[in-house]
A and B are shown apart, each in its own frame.
Chain A
Amino acid sequence: MLKHHSSILAALAAISITGFSSIAAASSHSEAPGTASDPEIDGTDTWAFVNNGNLVVVAGYNGLWDHAAPNYKKFATNGVRYQIHIARGAADLDEDLIYIFEFSEAPYLQQNPADLTKGPLNFGGKEFFSQLSGGGAWAQKYKVTKYDAKTNSYKTVANNVSVAPPNVGPRTTGAYNAVLGGGELTYEQRWVDGGVGKTVVADIAAADGGGKVFAGPRLDAFYVDLGSVFDLAGLPDVTPVAPFPGGLVRAQGAQRSSTAYRNIMAIALSIPIATANGKAVTAGAGVDDLVGVWSTANRQQITLRRNDGSQETVGPYRQVSRLGLPLINEAVIGLQDKDRFNATRPKHDVSLYGGYFLNPVIVRDAQGVGLYGAGGTLNAIGCGTEGAGGVIDGMDNAALGITIPDLRTNRTDILTTINLGYAIPLNATGDVLRVDLSNPDDLLGNANFSIPTSIAPNRVTENRGAFPNGRRLNLDQEADVTDIEVTLLLCGLPFMVDSGLAGAIGGGAINGGVVGDRVSQLPYANRKTFPYLSAPIAQSDIRASTAPGNTIVCGDGTCGGGAENNGTCPADCP
């Protein structure tokens, strides 16, 4: 019979959805039912940017650690592949390169409890401190396989590489210093910076394209006030916030980052630009030097749980998580499709999920609580005005050639933005981080948002090095992607341009035209060097805890010293 694609009907069905759902559970962390129940494969964020002649890609997994995760968080080793995907050019989103990370873990050394000869960092399976056992998260290794579509070939480019262990705390670090020598080294000095001549950072040979890789726990660089956002967008500057029990009211500026002082498991890859691009970059306008970057996690289809407590996986690999741009699955895709979104590829995003991009339900949510109506917060800043029939008239921009007669629908400005203003075909438009590899490093500045100055074919010329033209980590503070995306969705691209956001986004919830969660400052700086994310916070550090009375991540993200560091937060740190 005639072969055809059954996806036509599926695509039409998706397009017809006007949706009722909103954000599911959290940021890019645990954003879908499937990833929320399977943290080890839950992609939290992907960062990609040019630095020192390299394309850097960092993928985070398994986020939102709390302080009760001192020494066991690690990568999945049982039938899981973590992958970084790179598609060159703008003609399609078929991968040209895939870096496949597969982790393994030596079983605990079976140890007779009566054997007194081992130790102190190799007590084996009889130990209950995993950092003294020599196993568990201290025994993870990985290999990296590079798939090159041009030659349709696979090559192992790194093998038997050690994963950085957990940062349990100063007593554990001290124990390692005492036993392994090298002086009084910090966690970062011992494991990453080669303080004793060793590092978990591994090189990829030049013959294999060159570069380096890292895998291990890192401090999460993403920041967002999840508590307020998911209390039906209870942001003090946007919507009224009801008092908490006892009459406690969260004041303006009292937001806190739910991801501050939280670790993730991170994979970092740095490869020469020429390897990423398949050729040298050329100066000037054009899409030749664009790449699309995203990360995935893939599990084998079937898990067998055996009666000795072991698990065995069989079958083909199924994609279970993916991350390109931040917040797409969480803030754009409806609950009904979040797991499916994680299982499909970016090249199908327009056909399968185009309705969500064109009709962002978050606008309807904001409309529902009166933000666009007379006296509404968004109305007041010129973001959009609700008129007859519920139409929300958005701002227009003649230079961009964009008019938004109704913010609720036909929002092609969203696709224009994620495509950096280039005319990119529908089948090459999707949830990927676009990176212009010809960007010189000196275009960093403090700019957060990359503005297309006109529709294609012009290159993005304003703030070229800023999000969403890549997503940088080699700044003290990464772009406030939450505020940028929320503003884009709620107000549209013309509003962002006309509000002069190109130079500075950050600060307040509505600050210079930005709508967001008011969380805009990391309480720590990212590394300026590979692997760019900061060292993981020790899990015994009080800052890793959010237990009542121990919160010190308050207000602007730093509560300072004094009483707040003693676990007695003042009223502005609820």
Chain B
Amino acid sequence: MTDAELRGFWHRSGLLAVSALFAVAAANEGCGGDNPAQTTSTTTTTSTTTTTTTTGSGGGGGTGGTGGTMDADMSAAAEDVFFPLDATPGPDGDTIYFTALDPTKGAGVYKAGPAGGASTVVRAGDPYASPFGIAIGSDGTKLYVADVGAGADPMNDAVLDSGQIFVQAATGGDPTVLAGTAGTKPRGLEVVDEKGADQVYFTGRDAKGDFGVFKIPAAGGSPTAVSVGAPFVDPSGVAIADKGDVYVADAAPGAKLGAIIYKITAGDKVAKEFVTLGDVGYPVGVALDAANSKLLISALDASARTDQVVVVDLATGTQSIFIGDADTDISKFHEPAGLHRAKNKDVFAWSDSTAGKAGTVFKINF
């Protein structure tokens, strides 16, 4: 229909017809306060959607390539959640641990069993304040929680709440501070086994106030900089490949619109732009599959501003978009959060605070 025809149609028709036109417009245009348009082509399978990015998304120049198909199954691990922030499976993917801001139980760590259903408290309330990130150690007994707002002493105003990483037994009990992390304003973290000892990689700031990616032994010590300073502005989720490459999501990179995934090649300290994203939620989840062939990013569709998981083939640069399975359409949600993979399986935990009544934690099997 040409514009002139369309206008004539308007004048001849009533509200119902106009409404139908608007519905078509909505179907074509999506909704939301999105960032500048990205050009994509989309194909679908019965269980996945594959998108090939043909230009950059949200302003930074994306990765080209041909999309493939992707099979996955997802289920709700915990549906009674209030504002989940980050989630990680146990090493074998059975139990899902997550951080949330429950208004009655308090900010803290929760878990859901293999059967899903109601979640239980691992530990909530003081000293947890803003637990943005969670990761689990190799043996599954210890959780590591990045709390960007923790550290205050209610009896001493001189003690600042400048954040710290907590070590939390997976079975519950009071957490302890991971020595060396006080004041680092940690946001995202991941734990990897390096030469038989767990190392905690986290995003935060150094003593000078510069933001970046740091590494500290899981037993405590002094953080060492993996990459710090420019271009990092608001680093969030982090994923580490077996060979040592580090992928970091920056939610607010400089004056740029959208978000950027930076890659720090093993042995290097320079963060290079790897993937640009039109929009993201917070915290930004990034995770690698077990084969280290794909990078999964918890993101938002740049136009519709609805949830999607961007899957980047690390060999080809191809981007695919996962928006759920036959039972769950995550593009109905719009506040995606953290994402982690189980140590020993391609099982991922992911959450959204607009799914369900106040948030849902999902398990995704790729």
Q: Which residues of A contact B (CB under 8 A)?
A: 1-8, 10-12, 15-16, 79, 81, 94-95, 98, 100, 102, 143, 145, 147, 149, 152, 154, 156, 300-302, 304, 306-308, 312, 314-319, 343-345, 347-348, 350-352, 354-355, 358-359, 401-403, 409-410, 412, 416, 423-427, 455-457
Take A302-B282, A344-B33, A358-B15 as given contacts and tell me if A15 and B23 are in contact as well, using a CB distance cutoff of 8 Å: yes
Determine if A1 and B324 form an interchain contact, defined as CB atoms under 8 angstroms apart.
yes
- Bound together, the chains give a CA A2 to CA B44 distance in angstroms of 6
Q: A7-B30, A149-B36 are in contact. List 10 more A-B contacts (CB 8 A).
A: A4-B331, A10-B31, A12-B26, A79-B252, A154-B256, A301-B282, A314-B148, A315-B252, A316-B259, A412-B11
Out of A2, A307, A315, A347, which one reaches B234, CB within 8 Å?
A315
Chain B nearest Cβ from A525, distance in angstroms: 36
- Bound together, the chains give a CA A423 to CA B33 distance in angstroms of 25
B279 within 8 A of A: yes
- Bound together, the chains give a CA A154 to CA B142 distance in angstroms of 43
Determine if A11 and B251 form an interchain contact, defined as CB atoms under 8 angstroms apart.
no
Take A1-B323, A3-B321, A3-B323 as given contacts and tell me if A351 and B7 are in contact as well, using a CB distance cutoff of 8 Å: no
Out of A1, A344, A457, which one reaches B31, CB within 8 Å?
A344
Determine if B11 and A315 form an interchain contact, defined as CB atoms under 8 angstroms apart.
no
Closest residue of chain B to A342 (Cβ to Cβ) is B33
- Bound together, the chains give a CA A152 to CA B236 distance in angstroms of 24
- Bound together, the chains give a CA A412 to CA B22 distance in angstroms of 13
Determine if A10 and B252 form an interchain contact, defined as CB atoms under 8 angstroms apart.
no
Q: Which chain A positions have C-beta within 8 A of B53?
A: none
Chain B nearest Cβ from A391, distance in angstroms: 13
Determine if A98 and B36 form an interchain contact, defined as CB atoms under 8 angstroms apart.
yes
**Can you show 20 pairs from A to B with CB atoms below 8 A apart?**
A1-B48, A4-B329, A5-B27, A5-B29, A152-B55, A154-B256, A306-B149, A312-B185, A315-B282, A316-B252, A344-B33, A345-B32, A350-B22, A350-B25, A351-B23, A351-B25, A355-B19, A358-B15, A427-B29, A456-B4
Give the secondary structure class of B's interface. loop
Q: What string of 1s and 0s marks CB contacts (under 8 Å) between B128-166 and chain A?
A: 001000000000000000001100100001001110000
Q: What string of 1s and 0s marks CB contacts (under 8 Å) between B35-79 and chain A?
A: 011000010101111000001100111000000000000000000
| Max count, chain A CB within 10 A of own CB: residue among B29, B48, B61, B257 | B29
Out of A2, A7, A300, which one reaches B252, CB within 8 Å?
A300
Chain B nearest Cβ from A86, distance in angstroms: 12
Give the secondary structure class of A's interface. mixed
Take A314-B148, A345-B34 as given contacts and tell me if A152 and B56 are in contact as well, using a CB distance cutoff of 8 Å: yes
Q: Which chain B positions have C-beta within 8 A of A98?
A: 36, 257
Determine if A348 and B32 form an interchain contact, defined as CB atoms under 8 angstroms apart.
yes
Determine if A426 and B25 form an interchain contact, defined as CB atoms under 8 angstroms apart.
yes
Q: What string of 1s and 0s marks CB contacts (under 8 Å) between B158-176 and chain A?
A: 0011100000000000000
Determine if A7 and B26 form an interchain contact, defined as CB atoms under 8 angstroms apart.
yes
B315 within 8 A of A: no
Chain B nearest Cβ from A352, distance in angstroms: 6
B291 within 8 A of A: no
- Bound together, the chains give a CA A149 to CA B60 distance in angstroms of 10
Determine if B36 and A94 form an interchain contact, defined as CB atoms under 8 angstroms apart.
yes
B304 within 8 A of A: yes
Q: Which chain B positions have C-beta within 8 A of A306?
A: 149, 160-162
